[in-house]
Amino acid sequence: MAVIRPFRALRPRREFAEKIASPPYDIISSEEARKIYEKNPLSFVRVIRPEVNFPPGEDMYAEKVYKKAKEELLRYLKEGHMLQDETPKFYIYQQKDASHTQTGLVCVASCEDYEKDVIKKHELTREEKEIDRAKHIDIVAAQTGPVFLTYRSREDVDPLLEEGKKGEPEYDFESDGVRHTLWVVDDPELISRIRKAFEGIDRLYVADGHHRSAASVRVKNWRKER
């Protein structure tokens, strides 16, 4: 049984979403991140690639760099560019390009499911990359890079996601040839039905984010030991 939960997302205000959106941290180099930041100071690279806030050559694994990521995340909130939802919610995120559309449920998954192999892995990870992401998650106190999980097709899940997409989307913009659309699911009854449907899924599979998911479990264990 896959355990998922709604959560109180830290997310951009609607009018700033397109500006804040950025590529994932692991597909851009520090140099590429700096170029993005120079052109667009609102880009989320200032959190996921916090070395852009320091001169070139700074040790990107220094504790002060991770702490700067936390400062930058809090600055988004302080300056009104981001908000945190007041109650736990699900979010439906759709990406569409000229040839493909994919839709996902943004939610909280279980570290215990990862440890019990309910969440299945298919790639080996490098310890230094795990520790880097774990330090980032731990110090920032946020998971800033979602893990992409998949599951075997089920007839009872897709209709629920389609139901969640009936209202006006919270975000809808195009970037680099991809249309990004997100709906907020705040109806308690629909949230309950989605959670119930996922209880019928016996396995989730990591499609992308092996280091991020392993890092999350590290942080969970670090915090239990403190």
pLDDT per residue over 183-193, tens digit each?
A: 999 999 999 99
CB atoms within 10 A of CB 185: 22
**Res. 116: pLDDT tops 90:** yes
pTM (2 d.p.): 0.93
Tokens 């991809």 identify what position? 178
The pLDDT of residue 226: 85
Q: Evaluate if residue 1 carries a pLDDT over 90.
A: no
What's the whole-number mean pLDDT along residues 208-217? 96
Q: How far apart are CA 64 and CA 58, in angstroms?
A: 10
| Number of C-beta neighbours around residue 78 at 10 A | 10
Residue pLDDT, tens place only, 18-70: 999 999 999 999 999 999 999 999 999 999 999 999 999 889 999 999 999 99
Predicted local distance difference test score (pLDDT) of residue 221: 96
Give me the residue label for tokens 């120079």: 38
Q: pLDDT tens across 159-183, in order?
A: 999 999 999 999 999 998 999 999 9
